[in-house]
């Protein structure tokens, strides 16, 4: 990791950059996939699965037999771990439910807002070398709590044509019944447009690589809602002398192993711990099965040394997906953070806990989008409809106000809608 000691604010823009594919190539490649699926449906999904995942899949939907086989094959201790995590996630998200409250804004004028589940939602679950069955819990549980009528799950098959057993077990646990063997941009296209096998949905959730993220952004232009721009994973660790170097190293590597395009940033208030942290990184890196991936991710990563106030400003400018504050009095530092997806406080709050089982959601905005987006929550799976009801008294009280405003905006039809009613009340 390259070290930047007290960099000037003028140089921050370069330090805030994430690794990117060449955008013109990326968009062109993804549009081609979307168009093929829109035109050819299931056959395009199969062809693209063979091209990208190197496996031929005939039946896209996972069968009941495959679900039973997955459940039987999974070790009991892993099942119990998934069930424990699911219980925490459900507890945290269930607490986010809000009752409708009716407000009388003017005598005789009552307004309220009602949460209604999004009817059809799609969940994308990354597979490959790190199948994220935990994401099934993070998305399937709030979808169930919200009451979404139809939940469609897509995940890429492995070389044997199967979806990871833990993904299938987690899907059954949270009540997802429509599961399909499709990954990458072709899965996003299938859920956006619908195919012979895969139903179209109204909103698509889930993280993925830059191809998946770009596909979500492009189908959004065609009217399909998405959760947020969620691309390659990232973490920023703030640390001072109170931080344990091995803890800091482990947190950085836990993100670096996600993928070669992941990014980890370490922000220190001085250089006292730099050598110890770098040594711990190297020691732990040598023990990781995904060492090669983590090493490449570290090439996109950096150490930034700044005084505390400037460090907070740098973090808010970076707007990390995950922020670990491993410092004395982390609560006071956290109070100054305004841009972050999820925050972890102190030596004993590793980001991995939030990835799996604390209860918070790990589907979070990346690439600086935490400046304007929040992570997935229960409300992500609902839409709010507003209502208003006026009595005759209410129209008498508020109608003249609207007439005056409509007249000033030269919208006489609006004024007439009030006047014809008021005239009947004279």
Mark which of 349, 374, 399 sits at the end of a domain.
Answer: 374
Whether residue 15 lies inside any domain: the answer is no
Strand order in the sheet with 382-390: 103-106, 109-117, 382-390
Three-state SS string over 84-136 comes to HHHHHHHHHHHCCCCCCCCEEEECCEEEEEEEEECCEEEEECCCCCCCCHHHH
- The response to whether 66 counts as a known ligand-binding position is no
User: Cβ contacts of residue 77 below 8 Å, gap of 6+?
Assistant: none
Q: Is residue 8 part of a domain?
A: no
- Strand pairing category for 109-117 and 382-390: antiparallel
Q: What angle do CA 188, 189, 192 make, to 5 degrees?
A: 85
CATH number at residue 353: 3.40.50.1980
Q: Do 252 and 217 sit in the same domain of this protein?
A: no
| Overall number of domains in the chain | 3
Q: Determine whether the annotation assigns residue 423 to a binding site.
A: no
Instruction: Please check whether residue 340 is in contact with residue 187, taking contact to mean a CB–CB distance below 8 angstroms.
Output: no
Core vs surface per residue 330-342: b (16+ CB within 10 A) or e: beebbeebebbbb
Is 5 annotated in a binding site? The answer is no
Residue from 93, 234, 257, 322 carrying the catalytic annotation: 322
- CA separation for the pair 30, 186 (Å, rounded): 9
Show the low-confidence residues of the chain (pLDDT under 70): 21-23
Domain boundary among 226, 247, 264: 226
CA dist 245 and 106 (Å) reads 60
Instruction: Give domain status of residue 385, yes or no.
Output: no
14 part of a folded domain: no
Residue 124 known to bind ligand = yes
CA atoms of 243 and 325, how far apart (whole Å): 9
User: Based on the domain organization, do 399 and 342 belong to the same domain?
Assistant: no
Ligand-binding annotation for 414, yes or no, is: yes
Residues 280 and 165 placed together within one structural domain of the fold: no
With respect to residue 104, please indicate whether it lies within any of the assigned structural domains.
yes
Contact 133, 96 (CB under 8 A): no
Q: Domain range holding 30?
A: 23-226
Predicted pLDDT of residue 221: 96
Residue 17 included in any domain: no
164 and 45 part of one domain: yes
Instruction: Tell me how far apart the alpha carbons of residues 314 and 316 are, in angstroms, rounded to a whole number.
Output: 5
Tokens of 193: 């447009």
Same domain, 218 and 313: no
The alpha carbons of the chain give a radius of gyration, in whole angstroms, of 25
414: Cα separation from own chain's centroid: 42
- For the chain, the farthest-separated pair of C-alpha atoms sits apart, in whole angstroms, at 85
Report the pLDDT value the prediction gives residue 22, as an integer from 0 to 100.
61
Look up 321 and say whether it is catalytic.
yes
The residue among 226, 242, 274 that closes a domain is 226
* Same domain for 417 and 286: no
Same domain, 298 and 420: no
300 with 191, same domain: the answer is no
Residues 262 and 401 in one domain: no
What tokens were used for 406?
């409509």
Report d(CA 271, CA 55) in Å as an integer.
49
DSSP annotation of 405 reads H
Indicate whether 12 belongs to any domain.
no
Supply the DSSP string of 230-284, one letter for each residue: --S-EEEEEE-TTS-HHHHHHHHHHHHTT-TT-EEEEEESSSTTHHHHHHHHHHH
Q: In what order do the strands lie in the sheet with 178-181?
A: 178-181, 150-155, 120-124, 203-205, 225-226
pTM: 0.93
Does 202 carry a binding-site annotation?
A: no
- Give kind and range of the element (H or E) at residue 393: helix 392-408
Residue 258 annotated as binding? yes
Q: Is 43 labelled as part of a ligand binding site?
A: no
In a domain, 386, yes or no: no
Nearest Cα residue to 262 out of 218, 295, 237, 303: 295
Q: Catalytic residue among 66, 234, 321, 351, which?
A: 321
Tell whether 289 and 151 lie within a shared domain.
no
pLDDT of residue 210: 81
209 is in an annotated binding site: yes
263 and 166 part of one domain: no
322 labelled catalytic: yes
Q: Are 69 and 175 in the same domain?
A: yes
Give the number of other Cβ atoms within 10 Å of residue 197's Cβ.
17
């Amino acid at each position: 990791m390259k070290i930047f000691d007290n960099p000037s604010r003028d140089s921050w823009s370069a330090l805030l950059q994430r690794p990117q594919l060449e955008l013109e190539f990326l968009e062109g490649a993804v549009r081609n996939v979307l168009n093929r699926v829109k035109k050819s449906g299931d056959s395009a999904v199969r062809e693209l699965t063979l091209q990208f995942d190197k496996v031929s899949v005939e039946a896209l939907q996972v069968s009941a037999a495959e679900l039973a086989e997955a459940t039987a094959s999974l070790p009991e201790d892993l099942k119990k771990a998934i069930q424990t995590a699911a219980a925490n996630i459900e507890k945290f998200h269930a607490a986010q439910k809000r009752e409708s409250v009716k407000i009388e804004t003017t005598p005789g004028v009552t307004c309220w807002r009602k949460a209604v589940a999004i009817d059809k939602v799609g969940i994308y679950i990354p597979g490959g070398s790190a199948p994220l069955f935990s994401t099934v819990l993070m998305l399937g549980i709030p979808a169930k709590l919200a009451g979404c009528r139809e939940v469609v799950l897509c995940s890429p098959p492995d070389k044997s044509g199967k979806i990871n057993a833990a993904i299938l077990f987690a899907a059954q646990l949270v009540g997802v019944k429509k599961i399909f063997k499709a990954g990458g941009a072709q899965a996003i296209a299938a859920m956006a447009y619908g195919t012979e096998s895969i139903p179209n949905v109204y909103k698509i959730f889930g993280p993925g690589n830059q191809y998946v993220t770009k596909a979500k952004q492009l189908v959004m232009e065609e009217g399909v809602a998405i959760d947020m721009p969620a691309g390659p994973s990232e973490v920023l660790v703030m640390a001072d002398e109170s931080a344990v170097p091995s803890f800091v190293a482990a947190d950085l590597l836990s993100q670096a192993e996600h993928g070669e395009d992941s990014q980890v940033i370490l922000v220190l208030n001085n250089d006292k711990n730099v050598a110890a942290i770098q040594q711990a990184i190297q020691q732990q890196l040598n023990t990781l099965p995904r060492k090669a991936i983590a090493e490449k991710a570290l090439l996109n990563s950096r150490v930034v040394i700044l005084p505390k106030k400037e460090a907070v400003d740098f973090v808010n400018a970076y707007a990390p997906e995950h922020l670990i504050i491993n410092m004395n009095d982390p609560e006071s530092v956290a109070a100054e953070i305004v841009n972050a997806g999820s925050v972890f406080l102190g030596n004993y709050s590793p980001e991995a806990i939030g990835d799996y089982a604390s209860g918070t959601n790990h589907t979070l905005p990346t690439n600086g989008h935490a400046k304007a987006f929040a992570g997935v929550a229960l409300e992500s799976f609902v839409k709010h409809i507003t209502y208003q009801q006026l009595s005759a008294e209410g129209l008498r009280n508020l109608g003249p106000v609207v007439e005056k405003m409509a007249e000033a905006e030269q919208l006489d039809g609006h004024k007439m809608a009030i006047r014809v009613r008021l005239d009947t009340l004279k």
